[in-house]
Amino acid sequence: AQKITQTQPGMFVQEKEAVTLDCTYDTSDQSYGLFWYKQPSSGEMIFLIYQGSYDEQNATEGRYSLNFQKARKSANLVISASQLGDSAMYFCAMRVNNQGGKLIFGQGTELSVKP
Amino acid sequence: DGGITQSPKYLFRKEGQNVTLSCEQNLNHDAMYWYRQDPGQGLRLIYYSQIVNDFQKGDIAEGYSVSREKKESFPLTVTSAQKNPTAFYLCASHRQGRTYEQYFGPGTRLTVT
């Protein structure tokens, strides 16, 4: 079965420090995509970063990077130089090939950045 | 600016009433999706549509209905048959062939009492 697991319900980080949010996935497909979204208290899902299963290099987008370890089926999000505005829920998701390319989501990690 | 709009932001209904949630996109995306989010949970797929006049059930379609008469619009009706309709509903869209693009609207928070 295809599944996303986020084992950290909540995380704290000091402002300006880096933080890693964990994500493991399970799929038998060879072709898939992995996403990270940020959900602030307003509820909107904000796309952060994407990693394709065939991408050889880890994805980066500004302060966000994705530590992709295919053999271990992990896709951890690294946020460098945390800011107070980074406080939010973070969801890892996987695109599956059936059901129109839907996304399967993990339970989320609530990140709190301390001043 | 291109994007996805959902209205209203908050919606209140009495039990037994049908209610329709709006989703409009001007991104020229082919595929559109409806997800449901319950407190402390990730999103689950209700319905999706890859082309006008065609749509398929997702993982939790019971008690919901949709239509796709225009490429830009994908309204969701929450019927009285949905046992636990109170939730946060998010609409998303995706351009076929652009795997990394799936964008979400701001969501509608539905409360049924």
pLDDT in tens, A63-111: 999 999 999 999 999 999 999 999 999 999 999 776 677 899 999 999 9
Our CA-based measurement puts residue A80 at a distance from the nearest CA of chain B, in whole angstroms, of 22
Q: Residue B99 and residue A52: Cβ atoms within 8 Å?
A: yes
Residue B1: pLDDT band (50, 70, 90) is low
Residue A59: pLDDT band (50, 70, 90) is very high
Our CA-based measurement puts residue B8 at a distance from the nearest CA of chain A, in whole angstroms, of 14
Q: Residue A42 and residue B103: Cβ atoms within 8 Å?
A: no
Q: Residue A47 and residue B45: Cβ atoms within 8 Å?
A: no
What residues in A contact B101, CB-CB < 8 Å?
Answer: 47
Using CA atoms, how far apart are residues B64 and B82, in angstroms rounded to an integer? 7
Using CA atoms, how far apart are residues B71 and B48, in angstroms rounded to an integer? 13
pLDDT in tens, B68-108: 999 999 999 999 888 899 999 999 998 876 666 688 999 99
Mean pLDDT of chain B: 92
The pLDDT score that the predictor gives to residue A100 is 74
Name residues whose C-beta falls within 8 Å of residue B97's C-beta, 6 or more positions apart in sequence. none
What residues in B contact A91, CB-CB < 8 Å?
Answer: 42-43
What residues in B contact A53, CB-CB < 8 Å?
Answer: none
**Long-range pairs for B52-57: beta carbons < 8 A, 24 or more residues apart:** B56/A99, B56/A100
What value does the mean pLDDT take over residues B62-69? 97
Q: Residue B104 and residue A100: Cβ atoms within 8 Å?
A: no
- Structure tokens that stand for B61 in this block: 């379609």
Q: Residue B106 and residue A43: Cβ atoms within 8 Å?
A: yes
